Every structure is written in structure tokens, then in C-alpha cells.
Structure 1
Amino acid sequence: MAAYVLVPGFWLGAWAWRPVAQPLRERGHNVHPVSLTGMAERAGQARPDTDLETHINDVVNLLASRDLHDVILVGHSYAGLVITGAADRLPERIEQLVYLDTGPLPDGMSQNEFAPPEQQTTNAELVANYGDGWQLPPPPWATLAAPVPDVDEAAIEALTTNSVPQPWATATSPARLTGRWEKLPRLAILCTFTTEQVRAMAATVPAFRHMAGDIWRYAELPTWHWPMFSRPAELAEILDGATR
């Protein structure tokens, strides 16, 4: 039996992991899905100063309060920064890091800086015009899912109903890392990239420089960026295999 801590990306909460958490529990694992500060049932805690450090502290506090050890720490999308920061604080509690269609960014880089310039501009306009200057509204899920045959109406309804705005400071605050996390084993589950693409980018793009080396393993799960909704059974199978 392994201990999994599942950390969601932008707009989501612990609820997003239900299709994955259940099959992992049926395999006998101890599973801890996380709702970060200001997200899901904790939406009322959102503030303009809710930032990346806030969310890193959420995970650090969960590991400590539940006395979790030998943890498989899973981060989806933006949460790649969160799990890297938490592992940098408590590397002795982590067995391995799993990056779900994401990766660790270098010290000093923010999630917003990783986005292409045109996306940065669009997001800034959304925050200014529809997020009271400090929140990024959820995307139009039905439009995003339209080209993806694996996403059913129930998944779109769940995303549309349960997503909440993302505190924008979580995207603009930089990662602050000491390097203590760098010796931990890592698995990248790639949905919108191939292994070859990631290795090529790691050799040429500074933002990807932490994604190469013998410490990495890669698993490909071709689908959209939210595989817990499009291919949850296969994702649970890959996560279960991370223990072997």
C-alpha cells in the first residue's frame, strides 16, 4: 500500500480526483486528494495575496498534520510548482514526485512566465476585466473539450459546475527552491507532449532543464490536458504502477 497526495491544477479541487482516487483506493492505497486555499470548498478563503507559497504551505501542512511518509506526491499542471516547492521543504517525506502533464520550473520562474506571451496578455485581460483584478476565471470547458472524444457530458458538467476562479498571485509569484528536492525520483505522465519532445526541449529550453536525466521516468497518456476526466482508469493504472 502506498500513500498518494493528489494536487490539482488551476480552477480545480480535490473533487477533480474522484475518478482516479477511487480505483487507487480499491487497489489498497491511501489516497489524499487536496483542495488548495481558495479552491473548491475552500473558495471562501481566496484573497488577493493567496499565492504559490500559500499553496506550497497547504501541502507541507497536510504532510505534517497527517504524519505522511514515503509519499507519492502528484501534481497536475500548475501544481507541478506546488509539489516541487513542498518536496523542497520536506524531501525526507517524499518517495517520488509525479508530474501530470507538467514539470518543475527553475528557481525564480513563475507559472505565468512559462506561458507564451499571447497567453500572458489574454490572461491579464481576463483577470482585469472579469476577475476583479486578482482572479483568473475558469475557461469555457465545453469549448476546450469539444475536440476530445474521451470527455463526456458528465465531465463537462462537473468542470463547469465546480470550477472556481484561480487567485492570480499563484500564477505570478515565482518558485523559490533550494535544490533539496532534486535528488527525488520523478515520473512524468505526458498527455500533450511526447517523451521525445520533452527530452528535446530539456536540452534547449531553460524552463524545461529539470526534465531530463536518469532520475526521470516517462509514461505517455495521449489525451487532453485534464486526463482525470478523459482517461481516469488509465491514469489510475499508471499511478498504481509508480509503486512498482
Structure 2
Amino acid sequence: MTPTYVFVHGSSSNSFTWAPLQRELALRGHRSLAVDLPGHGFGASFPVAYQAPQDLEAFAKAPGSVLGTDAAVEHVVDVVRRVAEHGSVVLVGHSRGGLTLTGVGNAIPELVDRIVYISAWCCVDLTVGEYATEPENATSALAATVGILAGNPAELGLLRMNWRTADPALLAALKTALLDDGTEQEFLAYLNTLEPDESLDAGTHRADAATWGRIPRTYIRLTKDLSMPLALQDRFIREADALTPDNPFEVHSLDSSHVRFLMYPQEAAEILSRSPGR
């Protein structure tokens, strides 16, 4: 029986972002399921002030609700338990979704047949906050996009982003960070799939050799990713392989920015299709 691919989205995103890749896998005969993490998808908060015309002052103060990484891990653990009743499971995550993958791998390694990180956070030696200040992350183009933040995260208790900004300089910086190899139309279409609120809590989950380290794993490097620098992706791979040298990452590379592979998923689908389970 072919595995079921369970997809975990990244920051400010939702299950819808995986639709093109799911379609490509379905055409190849594969089952898949994309998860909405708590507070995302149809559970996301969209303040009225976020609509047009925007009231930025009200938007920056409106209450919101999005849960942290522990809740995300618990949610995906429940999903994987149900999926595993029907056969093997390949757990796939992108970007911030990697934090959830690691927590799930630590919690239920016996139910995950392969874990796949696509330019995703895979904390081994350090926390997210610590990696963010390391030299490998110094070139991240996200540093130029802080203007997307609305409101005070400490007061809101969450990160709020105004993806509907019309500031040309900020839009240019966002395009560079997320889709430097895409068209303007593709970039704006992608922005309109994003949600304004994301959790401040990135969690403390790190790869555990005794649990997570037992799962066969794949890392798909995105070589044109200016958001998650390639040097940081390679550091995750290097540290994980040092943690469990007898179970190293199977490594692949795609010539893609941070999100282009989501729009043109043929190569990613091919890699996933031929990645074995246990």
C-alpha cells in the first residue's frame, strides 16, 4: 500500500498552500492530507479592520487567537494516529512547519514512516531564537520585511502581519524574501493566501536521537531560498546527521525560492514519490 502524505504548512499559512502538490501526487496515485494547524485555515482570525479600506490603527489592536507549537504538535499527533490506521505515513513540513514535525517525531516515532523537511526548521543543537542569531541566518532577506508587522507583538500576544500592504518598497522586499524567482502576479496571488496572525511561541522542540532519530528522514534543500538561507538549511542537515550518524538525512535539492516549489510542484512530487519509508 502506498503511504499517505501528511502535510504541515509554514508561518501565516494553511492547508490550502499544499493544493498544487497534492494534486500532482494524486495524479501519480498517492493519498495525501494537508493539516490546518490550530488558529489557521477556517479557524484563522481576520479582523474587520484588515478588510478594504483598511483601518491600520484598529487592525494593530484587534484581538486574535492562534496557538503555539505545543498545540500544533498535539493536533498533528492526533491526525497521524488516525491516518496510521490505514497504512504508512510520510510527514512533510515546510518552513516553520518543521518545528511541528520535530515535535511529532519525538512524540510518536513508531507511527511515522518517513519525515520530510522542505527548507524547514529542524532544531538540533539550538533553539529557533538561537539559530536566528547565528551566522548562517545572517543573510536572510526576512530582515528587510519587518515593516509587515502591525501592532506590538508583546501586547497582542502574537505576530500580526499586514499582507495586504500597498507599500511598494515593502512589497519588493517581501517578493525578494519569498518568491524572487516568480512573477509579480504569482507573488501577489501567494500573498493573498496568507493569514495575518501567527504565534509568538516557536516552542522548544529539538531532535531527540532516541525518538525522532529513529525515523528515516529526508531534507529537500531549496537552493534559491533567500528567506531560509541555504547555509542554515545545510547546518540543520549537518547537525542532525551528527546526532544520528547511522540514520542520516536523504538529501535532495530543488532550484527554488522559499515558495516557488509550492506553485510548480512537479519536481517535489517526484522526490516524494520515490522516497522510501522504513
TM-score bracket for this pair, using the shorter chain length: 0.7 to 0.9
**2:111 corresponds to:** 93
Matched, 1:61 2:62: no
Superimposed CA distance per residue, residues 163-186 of structure 1 (whole angstroms, 9 cap, x where no aligned partner): 113433332x31166541111111
Larger deviation: 68-77 or 143-152? 143-152
Partner SS, residue 220 of structure 1 = strand
Distance 1:159 1:200 in 2: 26
Segments of structure 2 that go 5 or more residues without pairing to the other structure are 47-63, 164-169
Partner SS, residue 23 of structure 2 = helix
Superimposed CA distance per residue, residues 7-48 of structure 1 (whole angstroms, 9 cap, x where no aligned partner): 111111111001100010111111011111111222149626
- TM-score of the two chains, using structure 1 as the length reference: 0.79
Q: Aligned in 2, Cα 1:125/1:8: closer, same or farther, shift over 3 Å?
A: closer
- Give the paired residue count: 236
Could you tell me whether the CA contact under 8 Å between 2:223 and 2:256 is conserved in 1? yes
Between the two proteins, what is the percent identity of the paired residues?
25
Distance 2:82 2:200 in 1: 26
Structure-to-structure mapping, 1:69-108, within 5 angstroms: 69-106=87-124
Structure-to-structure mapping, 1:8-19, within 5 angstroms: 8-19=9-20
More helix by share: 1
Segments of structure 1 that go 5 or more residues without pairing to the other structure are none
Structure-to-structure mapping, 1:78-227, within 5 angstroms: 78-106=96-124, 109=127, 111-116=128-133, 126=149, 128-129=151-152, 132-137=156-161, 143-145=173-175, 148=179, 150-153=181-184, 155-171=186-202, 173-175=203-205, 178=208, 179-192=210-223, 201=235, 209-212=239-242, 213=245, 214-227=247-260
Give how far 1:158 is off. 3.3
Larger deviation: 52-61 or 134-143? 134-143
Give how far 1:200 is off. 6.8
Could you tell me whether the CA contact under 8 Å between 1:52 and 1:169 is conserved in 2? no
**2:65 corresponds to:** 47
Distance 2:145 2:181 in 1: 27
Find the structure with the greater CA-based Rg.
2
Give how far 1:144 is off. 3.1
- TM-score of the two chains, using structure 2 as the length reference: 0.70
